[in-house]
Protein backbone atom coordinates (compact mmCIF):
# COMPACT_ATOMS: atom_id res chain seq x y z
CA UNK A 1 0.00 0.00 0.00
CA UNK A 2 2.79 2.41 0.90
CA UNK A 3 4.71 1.51 -2.24
CA UNK A 4 1.67 2.28 -4.40
CA UNK A 5 1.34 5.74 -2.79
CA UNK A 6 5.10 6.34 -3.17
CA UNK A 7 5.01 5.34 -6.86
CA UNK A 8 2.03 7.62 -7.43
CA UNK A 9 3.74 10.62 -5.75
CA UNK A 10 6.99 10.00 -7.67
CA UNK A 11 4.99 10.01 -10.90
CA UNK A 12 3.72 13.54 -10.24
CA UNK A 13 5.38 16.66 -11.57
CA UNK A 14 6.94 19.21 -9.18
CA UNK A 15 3.91 21.51 -9.34
CA UNK A 16 1.52 18.64 -8.66
CA UNK A 17 3.61 17.56 -5.66
CA UNK A 18 3.51 21.14 -4.33
CA UNK A 19 -0.27 21.24 -4.76
CA UNK A 20 -0.70 17.88 -2.94
CA UNK A 21 1.59 19.08 -0.12
CA UNK A 22 -0.41 22.32 0.26
CA UNK A 23 -3.69 20.35 0.33
CA UNK A 24 -2.27 18.02 3.00
CA UNK A 25 -1.15 21.02 5.08
CA UNK A 26 -4.62 22.56 4.81
CA UNK A 27 -6.16 19.23 5.86
CA UNK A 28 -3.91 19.13 8.93
CA UNK A 29 -4.85 22.72 9.84
CA UNK A 30 -8.55 21.93 9.40
CA UNK A 31 -8.26 18.79 11.54
CA UNK A 32 -6.43 20.73 14.26
CA UNK A 33 -9.17 23.35 14.24
CA UNK A 34 -12.00 20.83 14.41
CA UNK A 35 -10.47 18.38 16.86
CA UNK A 36 -8.40 20.66 19.11
CA UNK A 37 -9.43 24.30 18.98
CA UNK A 38 -13.21 23.83 18.90
CA UNK A 39 -13.29 21.73 22.11
CA UNK A 40 -11.00 24.25 23.80
CA UNK A 41 -13.34 27.09 22.86
CA UNK A 42 -16.30 25.08 24.16
CA UNK A 43 -14.49 24.39 27.45
CA UNK A 44 -13.74 28.11 27.79
CA UNK A 45 -17.40 28.92 27.19
CA UNK A 46 -18.44 26.34 29.83
CA UNK A 47 -15.94 27.83 32.28
CA UNK A 48 -17.34 31.31 31.62
CA UNK A 49 -20.88 30.07 32.36
CA UNK A 50 -19.70 28.39 35.57
CA UNK A 51 -18.00 31.65 36.59
CA UNK A 52 -21.18 33.63 35.93
CA UNK A 53 -23.20 31.12 38.01
CA UNK A 54 -20.68 31.41 40.84
CA UNK A 55 -20.76 35.19 40.67
CA UNK A 56 -24.56 35.09 40.83
CA UNK A 57 -24.45 32.78 43.85
CA UNK A 58 -21.92 35.08 45.51
CA UNK A 59 -24.24 38.06 45.06
CA UNK A 60 -27.08 36.02 46.61
CA UNK A 61 -24.84 35.13 49.54
CA UNK A 62 -23.83 38.77 50.01
CA UNK A 63 -27.48 39.83 49.93
CA UNK A 64 -28.27 37.20 52.54
CA UNK A 65 -25.40 38.37 54.73
CA UNK A 66 -26.56 41.96 54.42
CA UNK A 67 -30.09 40.92 55.34
CA UNK A 68 -28.81 38.95 58.33
CA UNK A 69 -26.68 41.89 59.46
CA UNK A 70 -29.66 44.23 59.25
CA UNK A 71 -31.76 41.89 61.40
CA UNK A 72 -29.15 41.46 64.15
CA UNK A 73 -30.79 41.75 67.52
CA UNK A 74 -29.95 38.97 69.96
CA UNK A 75 -33.11 39.21 72.03
CA UNK A 76 -33.22 35.56 73.13
CA UNK A 77 -29.81 33.93 73.36
CA UNK A 78 -29.57 30.16 73.55
CA UNK A 79 -28.43 29.05 76.99
CA UNK A 80 -25.54 26.68 76.10
CA UNK A 81 -24.10 24.52 73.35
CA UNK A 82 -27.01 22.10 73.79
CA UNK A 83 -29.44 25.00 73.59
CA UNK A 84 -27.68 26.29 70.49
CA UNK A 85 -27.94 22.85 68.90
CA UNK A 86 -31.62 22.58 69.76
CA UNK A 87 -32.31 26.11 68.51
CA UNK A 88 -30.41 25.53 65.26
CA UNK A 89 -31.99 22.18 64.47
CA UNK A 90 -35.55 23.10 65.43
CA UNK A 91 -35.51 26.36 63.46
CA UNK A 92 -33.91 24.63 60.44
CA UNK A 93 -36.59 21.95 60.45
CA UNK A 94 -39.30 24.59 60.84
CA UNK A 95 -37.97 26.34 57.72
CA UNK A 96 -37.94 23.08 55.74
CA UNK A 97 -34.16 22.72 55.60
CA UNK A 98 -32.70 19.22 55.28
CA UNK A 99 -30.02 18.60 57.91
CA UNK A 100 -27.54 15.91 56.88
CA UNK A 101 -25.16 16.21 59.85
CA UNK A 102 -24.83 18.06 63.15
CA UNK A 103 -21.79 17.74 65.41
CA UNK A 104 -20.10 19.80 68.13
CA UNK A 105 -16.78 21.50 67.38
CA UNK A 106 -14.19 23.30 69.49
CA UNK A 107 -15.04 26.30 71.70
CA UNK A 108 -18.71 25.41 71.93
CA UNK A 109 -19.32 25.66 68.20
CA UNK A 110 -21.61 23.55 66.09
CA UNK A 111 -20.85 22.02 62.68
CA UNK A 112 -23.81 21.49 60.36
CA UNK A 113 -24.27 20.21 56.82
CA UNK A 114 -27.43 21.10 54.94
CA UNK A 115 -28.34 19.51 51.62
CA UNK A 116 -30.72 20.63 48.88
CA UNK A 117 -31.55 23.86 50.71
CA UNK A 118 -33.50 26.72 49.22
CA UNK A 119 -31.04 29.67 49.31
CA UNK A 120 -33.66 32.13 50.59
CA UNK A 121 -34.74 29.77 53.37
CA UNK A 122 -31.09 29.19 54.30
CA UNK A 123 -30.31 32.91 54.60
CA UNK A 124 -33.54 33.60 56.48
CA UNK A 125 -32.68 30.76 58.89
CA UNK A 126 -29.18 32.14 59.48
CA UNK A 127 -30.63 35.60 60.09
CA UNK A 128 -33.14 34.14 62.55
CA UNK A 129 -30.40 32.26 64.42
CA UNK A 130 -28.42 35.47 64.76
CA UNK A 131 -31.32 37.73 65.66
CA UNK A 132 -33.21 35.44 68.06
CA UNK A 133 -30.48 33.30 69.59
CA UNK A 134 -27.19 35.15 69.06
CA UNK A 135 -25.84 32.23 67.01
CA UNK A 136 -23.46 33.46 64.31
CA UNK A 137 -21.81 31.83 61.33
CA UNK A 138 -18.12 31.34 62.06
CA UNK A 139 -17.38 29.60 58.74
CA UNK A 140 -19.52 28.72 55.72
CA UNK A 141 -19.08 26.87 52.44
CA UNK A 142 -22.14 27.17 50.21
CA UNK A 143 -22.31 25.52 46.78
CA UNK A 144 -25.00 25.05 44.18
CA UNK A 145 -25.94 21.41 43.90
CA UNK A 146 -26.84 19.50 40.74
CA UNK A 147 -30.40 20.88 40.75
CA UNK A 148 -28.93 24.44 40.48
CA UNK A 149 -31.85 26.06 42.35
CA UNK A 150 -30.74 24.48 45.60
CA UNK A 151 -27.54 24.76 47.59
CA UNK A 152 -25.47 22.55 49.86
CA UNK A 153 -24.01 24.25 52.93
CA UNK A 154 -21.27 23.27 55.34
CA UNK A 155 -21.52 25.63 58.33
CA UNK A 156 -19.72 26.18 61.60
CA UNK A 157 -21.91 28.13 64.01
CA UNK A 158 -20.97 29.69 67.33
CA UNK A 159 -22.52 31.84 69.98
CA UNK A 160 -25.82 31.54 71.68
CA UNK A 161 -24.31 31.90 75.11
CA UNK A 162 -22.25 28.72 74.78
CA UNK A 163 -19.09 30.03 73.10
- pLDDT tens by residue, 55-79: 888 888 888 777 776 665 444 444 4
- pLDDT tens by residue, 4-17: 988 888 888 989 98
Rounded distance between C-alpha atoms, residue 113 and residue 7, angstroms: 72
Question: Would you state the pLDDT for residue 161?
Answer: 56
121 and 98 in contact (C-beta within 8 Å)? no
Question: Would you state the pLDDT for residue 32?
Answer: 87
Report DSSP letters for 80-97, one per residue.
SHHHHHHHHHHHHHHTT-
Average pLDDT over residues 94-99: 89
Rounded distance between C-alpha atoms, residue 127 and residue 133, angstroms: 10
140 and 153 in contact (C-beta within 8 Å)? yes
Residue 74 per-residue DSSP state: -
Average pLDDT over residues 101-121: 88
Average pLDDT over residues 99-128: 89
List the one residue out of 137, 141, 140, 142 whose CA is nearest residue 157.
137
Please report which residue ranges of 11-104 form alpha helices under DSSP H. 14-32, 38-70, 81-94
Q: Which has the higher per-residue pLDDT, 116 or 29? A: 29
Average pLDDT over residues 117-139: 90
Determine if the pTM surpasses 0.75.
no
Average pLDDT over residues 111-131: 90
Tell me: pLDDT of 19 over 50.
Answer: yes
Residue 76 per-residue DSSP state: S
- Give residue 23's pLDDT band: very low, low, confident or very high (50, 70, 90): very high
Question: Would you state the pLDDT for residue 72?
Answer: 58
Amino acid sequence: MISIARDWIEGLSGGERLLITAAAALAVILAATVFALAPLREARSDARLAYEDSASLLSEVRAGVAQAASQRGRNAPADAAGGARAAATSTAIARGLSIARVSPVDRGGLSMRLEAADPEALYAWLAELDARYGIEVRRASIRRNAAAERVEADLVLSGGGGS
